[in-house]
Amino acid sequence: HIIATTGDSYDLVRRFLYHHPEAVFVHFPIAVECRGNWGVRYVPMAYIIGRDGKVFWAGNPHTGYQKALEKALAAPAPELQDVPKKLAKHVSELYAEQYGKALRGAKKAREAGNAAFAEWMEKRVKTFHERYMFQVEAAERRGDYYLASTILKRLSAIFRGTPYEEDIKKKLSAVNKEHRKEIKLWGKYHEIIESARTAKKSAVEKALKDLNKLVKKHDGEPIADAVADIVKVLKKPWSAREAASR
């Protein structure tokens, strides 16, 4: 979980996630905007909450934010220390998003008489499925069926061999069939912002022009709000301090 406690921090977190798209698939990543200033007034603060629910890192997002996040993601799951060695590999499979393997491990554990471990694994897989589907639903509410389709394609692979596989495939098929127009439009949007991800001035300027053309054709549609939001991110370049912390 990523929590930003000021508007300034929130913008920094959003821009960090923009420049690090792989963070989209952190388990249930959240960038929360809290308008109140906590601690010293007007000093931006961000917190990274670990899998165990404890604060892993806290500080000014200008300094060391990327390294702290990378370290948090690489940290072993807290549950590993309480799991017998023979079963620990199945927990690793769980956090490696090999959910089919993880559930097969749970089945073996149950057959070996460790029902508590099996139930824990099954609940975790169920929870991860629910959280990823929340991301799909959020993309749909936004009107971004391209992103919804992209996430579902990924889920159809990582949930292969689980009870959720069939529902994911059906959902993906329905989205692709019913929202072809939106997928094409939002695909163009994602293509444009991807082209600017290098943060080179020329690439950003071209992206801003292309986004302006796109929004003129679709003014008043959901994509116009998305363009307005990403333009704020693109228009403000990384400062030297931010660049050093990346």
Tens of pLDDT along 25-52? 333 233 333 333 333 344 445 666 655 5
Identify whether residues 172 and 196 lie together within a single domain: no
In this structure, the answer to whether residues 158 and 187 fall within a common structural domain is no
When pLDDT is averaged across residues 77-87 and rounded to a whole number, the result is 65
Residue 235 has pLDDT above 90, yes or no: no
Q: Is residue 240 part of a domain?
A: no
Range of the domain at 13: 2-74
Task: State what percent of residues in the chain have pLDDT above 70.
Answer: 61
Query: Among residues 178, 194, 222, which one ends one of the domains?
Result: 178
The reply to whether 144 and 228 lie within a common domain is no
Both structure tokens of 6: 């000021």
In this structure, is residue 112 part of a structural domain?
A: yes
Confidence of residue 63 (pLDDT cuts 50, 70, 90): low
What confidence tens digit (pLDDT) does each residue in 97-121 have? Answer: 899 999 999 999 999 898 988 998 9
Predicted pLDDT at 107: 94
> Around 185, how many Cα atoms within 13 Å sit in the side-chain half-sphere?
20
Report yes or no on whether pTM surpasses 0.75.
no
Say if residue 203's pLDDT is above 90.
no
**Average pLDDT over the chain, rounded to an integer:** 76
Whether residue 21 lies inside any domain: the answer is: yes
Look at the chain and report how many structural domains it folds into.
Answer: 3
Walk across the sheet containing 2-4 and list its strands.
Answer: 31-33, 2-4, 46-49, 55-59
What's the CA gap between 188 and 138, in Å, rounded? Answer: 19
Q: Which of 222, 216, 218, 192 is nearest to 205 (CA)?
A: 192
Q: Mean per-residue pLDDT for 129-154? A: 91
Half-sphere exposure of 59 (CA within 13 A, CB side): 12
Instruction: Write down which residue in 132, 151, 178 finishes a domain.
Output: 178
63 and 86 in a single domain? The answer is: no
Backbone angles phi, psi at 55, to 5 degrees: -70, 120
